[in-house]
Amino acid sequence: MFRPRPDAPAATIAVEVEGQAVTVPPGASAAAALLLAGLATIRETPVSGSGRAPYCMMGVCFDCLAEIDGVPNRQSCMVTARPGMRIRRQRGTRTIDPNDVPGDTPSFPIPEPRSGGA
Amino acid sequence: MSVDFAIIGAGPAGMAAAILAVEFGLDTLLIDEQDGPGGQIYRAIERAETDPSASSSLGADYLAGRSLATALRASGAEYRPATTVWHIDPDGTLSLARKGESESITARRILLATGAIERPVPIPGWTLPGVMTVGAAQILLKTADLVPDGRAVLAGQGPLLYLAALQLARAGAPPLAVLETTPHENYHAAARRLGGLWPGRRALGKGLALMLGVRRAGIPVRRGVHGLRALGRIGLERIVWQGGEIAAEHLFLHEGVIPNTQISLALQLAHHWDEAQLCWQPSIDEWGRTSLPTIAIAGDGGGIAGAEAAALSGRLAALDAAAALGRIGEAERDRRAGPIRAERARERAIRPFLDALYRPRDSVLAPVDDETIACRCEEVTVGQIRRAVRLGAPGPNQLKAFTRCGMGPCQGRICGPIVGAVIAEARGMPIRDIGTYRPRAPYKPITVGALAGMGAAE
């Protein structure tokens, strides 16, 4: 859990983390918003499903992967929080939505998403 | 788009190089992944300018980065923030991605100023939420005014450990304890390298002031800590070491920094193992020239020497680029380089002492406990690596086929130093003979959409 330092100026960027309203200062990352929201974990690994939270905060470790404005697997520590941004936890691998594929019907089989524990 | 000089990374080295290159009339492009200039050391430096309360907790050394950022903004160099370089071709073509769109530019000379990363500190439980790097705590403070809520412990060694402890205390969140991992024998090794202390007395004075500051802030320091483990179910609950334990929700680890070699290794530039700093370094000359004539390296990415030395090496690389592109003669380059080199030598003088004093234990490089995770992405343990070596995996790149180690999203950035050390230990060979990963483009993940859009634009 993180909190604003006592003498911090008022945070002005309002974002939504898992449906919860969180306000961070201008220039703060989406990962900072995730940490401020107080979630126990911010993602689950594709391999074992274990819970993770940001480790390095500088774009190296990829443990802060999150879904930002509907785009999965973003490095949330490298994305600056913008007003109204919707940030969600990343659960395992991303999935492919057949409706996202341009054209009529996808001409290739879409694999079932890999589940945790694989 | 085509430029004379493309610089990657807007930390002290990149900013200083850009400012000077423009003075020589070089058409200069500075590319950086962050939203604002500063790199990690001066992260969010322009923000601190408008907020006096941040300045007071972060300290004078941090604020020294403001003059570089101001000069960069005034310089006329083209500065592209929030932009990722995902491929460089040795012919000078750079592939960039910004906001989901990709483009290609060419440069006559390229300077890599990609700085340092924190050395991974693989202890049992280091993937638990609540365990982060000391640098991460600083970044949260610099960019988001956040401090750890609850009990926080800093563990490891190096000047940054004390600086961060003091910054957190000044920001109203004093850590519960500092666990210093420096082995006793390091003091003897450092004592044999006192030659740099007089020229490096300014840096030494700062370091001593930090340690004194931590003591005055009433933060307990435990010395000689080893055998660290992080324990907890969903998140961190307890920190255990040989002969002690403490309950905490936050553990911030730091065992120094190492060059960020992701791009230089992908380019297959010549590298060597540095036994003093225990890391792979690109092999560069005094100007930062690499084994490829069009590509140079400045700053900590070419060997750890700190922010001041980084800015100076950026200036030297800019002088050399100006000479190579015919803007100044070699005589003028050398004349201007003289004082910069002398200053850099003074800045570097303290390094042999610091490298010896804060040399990580062997168990930091190659964890003893088989259950320790080496590859955080693919969740490969140290024991699995040792088993793969017994099955015949000779080096880090072959290990990928055995275990998927290094094949997750971070592309081996975190586990690279660990697997090299574990394989070396298992095979009874020096790390320099084991080698390290050969990373490949894209250096950061990009979407297929960005790639496709690039083709459409051409």
Same fold, B120-255 and B366-434: no
pLDDT score of B455: 60
pLDDT score of A115: 56
CB of B109 within 8 A of CB of B321?
yes
Place of tokens 């991605």: B97
Q: What is the pLDDT of residues B235-272, one digit of tens each?
A: 999 999 999 999 999 999 999 999 999 999 999 999 99
Q: Does A11 touch chain B (CB under 8 A)?
A: yes
Question: Of B245, B246, B271, whose CA–CA distance to B259 is shortest?
Answer: B271
Report the CATH superfamily, name and number, of domain B120-255: FAD/NAD(P)-binding domain (3.50.50.60)
Cβ contact, residue pair B172, A1, below 8 Å: no
Tokens of B429: 């060979």
Tokens of B112: 């890599």
How remote is the C-alpha of A23 from its chain's centroid? 16
Q: How far is CA A28 from CA A25, A31, B36, B349, in A?
A: 6, 8, 11, 36
pLDDT score of B365: 97
CATH number of the domain at A13-91, out of 3.10.20.440, 3.30.450.20, 3.30.70.1140, 3.30.70.870? 3.10.20.440
* Smallest CA–CA distance from B174 into chain A, residue: A5
pLDDT score of B204: 87
* Smallest CA–CA distance from A56 into chain B, residue: B136
How large is the angle between the packed helices B330-348 and B307-324, nearest 10 degrees? 170
CB of B156 within 8 A of CB of B134?
yes
% of chain A beyond a pLDDT of 70:
81
Domain locations along chain B: 2-117+258-328, 120-255, 366-434
Question: What is the predicted ipTM?
Answer: 0.95
Sheet holding B221-222, edge to edge: B131-133, B250-255, B152-157, B177-180, B221-222
| In chain B, residues 2-21 whose CB comes closer than 8 Å to chain A | none
CB of B171 within 8 A of CB of B268?
no
Question: Of A44, A48, A8, whose CA–CA distance to A24 is shortest?
Answer: A8
Domain locations along chain A: 13-91
For residue B213, what are the contacts with CB-CB under 8 A and spacing of at least 6?
B162, B166
pTM of the model: 0.94
Report the CATH superfamily, name and number, of domain B366-434: BFD-like [2Fe-2S]-binding domain (1.10.10.1100)
For A80, which of B35, B132, B133 is closest by C-beta distance? B35
Helix (H, G, I), strand (E, B) or coil at B230: strand
d(CA B402, CA B384): 9
Phi, psi of B51 (to 5 degrees): -130, 95
- The answer, yes or no, to whether residue A43 has pLDDT greater than 90, is yes
Q: What is the pLDDT of residues B316-340, one digit of tens each?
A: 999 999 999 999 999 999 999 999 9
pLDDT score of B288: 98
DSSP codes joined into one string, B254-278: EE-EEE--HHHHHTT--EEEETTTT
d(CA A51, CA A116): 11
d(CA B82, CA A73): 17
- The answer, yes or no, to whether residue B54 has pLDDT greater than 90, is no
Residue B258 burial (CB count, 10 A): 23
Pairing of strands B221-222, B177-180: parallel
CATH number of the domain at B2-117+258-328, out of 3.40.640.10, 3.50.50.60, 3.40.50.10880, 3.40.190.80? 3.50.50.60
Tokens of B132: 């982060």
* Smallest CA–CA distance from A25 into chain B, residue: B144
Cα angle, residue B456 at apex, residues B455 and B457 outer, rounded to 5°: 90
For A1, which of B44, B149, B408 is closest by C-beta distance? B149
